Amino acid sequence: MSTARTRGLVGAALGAVVSLTAAAVVLARRGGEAPVWGLLLLGLSLSMLTLVLAMRPARGESAAREGHRRDVGALTVAAAHVATENELRALVDSARVLMWLADVDGRRTHVNSSWLEFTGRALEDELGNGWMAGVHPEDARGLASGRDFAGRSQAYESEYRLRRFDGEHRWMLERGEPRVGPDGVRLGFVGSCVDVTERKLREASLHEERAQLERKVEQRTEELARANAELAAAARLKDEFLANVSHELRTPLTAILGLTESLLEPSSPPVSDKQRQSLRTIEESGQHLLALINELLDLARIEAGQMRIESQPDVPVERVCQGSLRFVKEAAQKKHVSLSFKTDPSAVVLECDERRLKQALVNLLGNAVKFTPEGGAVGLEVAGDRAENVLRFTVWDTGIGIRKEAMGQLFRPFVQVDGSLTRRHGGTGLGLALSRRMVELQGGRILAGSEPGKGSRFTIVLPWRAGSGSRTAAPVSAAPPIDVEPGEACRLLLVEDNVDLAEMLGDHLRGAGHQVLLARSGADGLAAALRERPDVIVMDVEMPEMDGLEVIRRIRAEPGLEHTPILALTALAMPGDRERCLAAGATDYLSKPLNLKSLSAWVGRGRRTP
């Protein structure tokens, strides 16, 4: 048996003896019965309590301590109800826990032997406020003063460090219970103290752990914020990079496509069949490159949250489908792949962004034809589902199919399932990623299913809101549609810093009968505009030093030039370009590469604009 337990047992026995003796003494003196029985009961329960505490098994130390604390609390409450000072002293003295008595001002009138054993001091030293000398200086300030005590009529609990006989400060949980006489007069307090140092240490280490965690969280949050800022900066850089790349690629493409177009015009000097074939190939490759640049820009816009959907009500379903099929017809014919189309007679119109839906369908149909070997079949089927209010556009093929493991990656940008196969088939792995996002922006989704060697099915599911109103956002179109109309000769100022482009556009416009003045910089352009007062101005936007927008602003500030038609040409094709050009004072906007016919038509129309 441990020493603590032995001491506990002895304490219990002693407690019993003392309380029984106290009871006998009181009985002898007063002859009253009720308080005696109360005291007897109390003494016995105190003995039992100490016994139980002593016999408590060592396991579950903290639970035991908690129970101990509760028991001591109960004891303190019970003690407060003992009638006389002597009875109380007898009780307090018999307790194996630190106990004390105090007057109404909190001054100690008695402490028990457990207390004295603990502090190692004499009783006289502890009485009055003497016991405070053992309280840790940091905690002494927080203890209630005499005046606070005088006002107290409720039980209280406080914690402070008390110096042990060996000089170590131990944390004590003090519980004080007011004592009130039979006539309601306050007699003072009886209190107990329990050593709760271990709990305090555990709390402190928990507190430290929590603080460490908080510091870690703060650190991580800071790191995240820094990473976010870096990401935002990288995203901005990417946007700028894309805008620049787009500009750098579009400018030469304008020359390539424009020159090819003008060489193929019937009015141009005749070319041999072989040359014509080469010119067509140049044009096709240029268009392919342009499509790729547009796809990259679309992706960048979607990722920057700048892709806007222009929903139109009542878009004819058949028109969208036939228009999409036309795009892949030639490729399918070349490969002897049959193309079929099946529509649902109930699916007549749909509210959607026609251009974006077509783009998605063309991507799916293009894939189907691309990944279907010679002699295979590709089809487009439309099915309306009134129950779910959705329209399903399914593109199926009898092609090579897709492995199950690869299905999850299909819609990620730049992912191609089989490098060797796709290298043979061409592409960049952007089509499905873009299609999905364009469909999702319209509230729909794309489902994919495939069986290797047998074929694939991709289904666009769109909400079927036939006939409901438009929810069009401000359009950001790379090239606003321009009606092709015959031009009318005019004096035209072309401001373009790229020599090849200036020459090509100048030749074309002269060929269309216009008198063309050429300026190679913003400053020259401004001077020429003020001097020559042309009928129409075609202004490149991206020029070094004074850019086209600045030139337009200055021209507009000039009396007499407020209404001269100005067409801004830009190779950036980024969202907001059109708005920026119009805000600077341009009459209209075209993005490079230009369609020469559109340019001629615009110039002709501009001429007629008052």
Ligand X SMILES: Nc1ncnc2c1ncn2[C@@H]1O[C@H](COP(=O)(O)OP(=O)(O)OP(=O)(O)O)[C@@H](O)[C@H]1O
Is residue 416 a contact residue for Mg ion (CB under 5 A)?
Answer: no
Please list, in sequence order, all residues whose beta carbon lies within 8 angstroms of the beta carbon of residue 239, skipping any fewer than 6 positions away: 300, 304, 574
CB of 407 to Mg ion, least distance (A): 15
In a 3-state reduction of DSSP, which class is residue 76? helix
Q: Whole-number minimum distance, CB 422 to Mg ion, in Å?
A: 9
Out of 367, 398, 456, 459, point to the residue binding Mg ion (CB under 5 A): 367
- Measure the CA–CA gap between 166 and 168, rounded to whole angstroms: 6
Give Dmax over CA atoms of the chain in angstroms.
143
CB of 408 to ligand X, least distance (A): 11
> How many residues interact with Mg ion (rule CB under 5 A)?
3
Question: Cα–Cα distance between 171 and 118 in angstroms, integer?
Answer: 12
Residue 516 contacts residue 506 (beta carbons within 8 Å): yes
Q: Which is nearer to Mg ion, 43 or 431 (CB)?
A: 431
Residue 15 in contact with Mg ion, rule: CB under 5 A: no
Kindly state the helix (H) or strand (E) to which residue 34 belongs, with its residue range.
helix 34-55
Residues in the chain: 610
| Cβ distance to Mg ion smaller for residue 192 or 367 | 367
Tokens of residue 35, six digits: 């308080």
Residue 522 to residues 188, 525, 573: CA-CA distances in angstroms?
97, 5, 20
Give the pairing type, strands 455-463 and 390-397.
antiparallel
Residue 400 interface partner, choices Mg ion, ligand X, none, CB cut-off 5-8 Å depending on type: ligand X
114 binds, among Mg ion, ligand X, none (CB under 5 to 8 A by kind): none
368 binds, among ligand X, Mg ion, none (CB under 5 to 8 A by kind): ligand X
Nearer to Mg ion, 246 or 367 (CB): 367
User: What does 429 bind: Mg ion, ligand X, none (CB cut-off 5 to 8 Å by kind)?
Assistant: ligand X
**Cβ-contact 12, 54 below 8 angstroms:** yes
Q: Which long-range contacts (CB under 8 A, 24 or more apart) does 407-414 make?
A: 407/448, 407/450, 410/448, 411/436, 411/446, 411/448, 413/299
522 binds, among ligand X, Mg ion, none (CB under 5 to 8 A by kind): none
Q: Would you say 376 or 606 has its CB closer to ligand X?
A: 376
Residue whose CB is less far from Mg ion, 132 or 415: 415
**Nearest CB to ligand X, comparing residues 371 and 602:** 371
The answer to whether the beta carbons of residues 93 and 113 sit under 8 Å apart is yes
Least distance to ligand X, CB of residue 413, Å: 8
Instruction: Choose the binding region for Mg ion from 39-47, 190-198, 363-371, 516-524 (rule: CB under 5 A).
Output: 363-371
Q: Which stretch binds Mg ion (CB under 5 A): 21-29, 179-187, 428-436, 564-572?
A: 428-436
Instruction: Give least dist CB 516 to Mg ion, A.
Output: 42
* Residue 176 engages Mg ion in binding (rule: CB under 5 A): no
Amino acid at 75: L
Minimum Å gap between C-beta 436 and ligand X is 9
- CB 400 → ligand X: shortest distance, Å? 5
- Applying CB under 5 A, the span of 62-70, 180-188, 314-322, 421-429 interacting with Mg ion comes to 421-429
Cβ(101)–Cβ(190) under 8 Å?
A: yes
Residue 491: strand pairing partners: 515
Please state the closest distance from residue 412 (CB atom) to ligand X, in A. Answer: 8
Closest separation in Å from C-beta 415 to Mg ion:
11
Write out the DSSP string of 264-306. HSTTSPP--HHHHHHHHHHHHHHHHHHHHHHHHHHHHHHHTT-
Residue 427 CB, nearest approach to Mg ion (Å): 5
Judged by CB, which is closer to Mg ion: 332, or 350?
Answer: 332
What, of ligand X, Mg ion, none, does residue 428 touch, CB below 5 to 8 Å by kind?
Answer: ligand X
Q: Of the ranges 63-71, 341-349, 362-370, 541-549, which one interacts with Mg ion (CB under 5 A)?
A: 362-370
Local structure of 188: helix, strand or coil: strand
CA torsion angle for 356, 361, 366, 371 (degrees, to 10)? 130
Closer to Mg ion by CB, 434 or 549: give it.
434
Binding residues for ligand X, rule: CB under 6 A, are: 363, 367-368, 371, 397, 399-402, 410, 416-418, 422, 427-433, 456
CA atoms in the 13 A half-sphere facing the CB of 337: 27
111 neighbors 93 (Cβ within 8 angstroms):
no
Selection from Mg ion, ligand X, none that 402 binds (CB < 5 to 8 A by kind) is ligand X
Beta strand 566-570 pairing with 588-591:
parallel
Given the complex with ligand X, which of 362 and 519 has the nearer CB atom? 362
Instruction: Please tell me whether residue 431 binds Mg ion under the rule CB under 5 A.
Output: yes
Single out the segment in contact with Mg ion by CB under 5 A; choices: 348-356, 422-430, 460-468, 593-601: 422-430
Task: For residues 555 and 566, give the distance between their C-alpha atoms in angstroms, rounded to a whole number.
Answer: 10
How many CB atoms sit inside 10 A of residue 241's CB? 12
In degrees, rounded to 5, the angle at the alpha carbon of residue 547 between the alpha carbons of residues 544 and 550 is: 150
Q: How far is the CB of 337 from Mg ion (least distance, A)?
A: 15
Q: Which CB, 352 or 417, lies closer to ligand X?
A: 417
Nearest to 324 by CA among 288, 356, 361, 355: 361
456 makes contact, choosing from Mg ion, ligand X, none, with CB < 5 to 8 Å by partner type, with ligand X
Using CB under 5 A, list all residues that contact Mg ion: 367, 427, 431
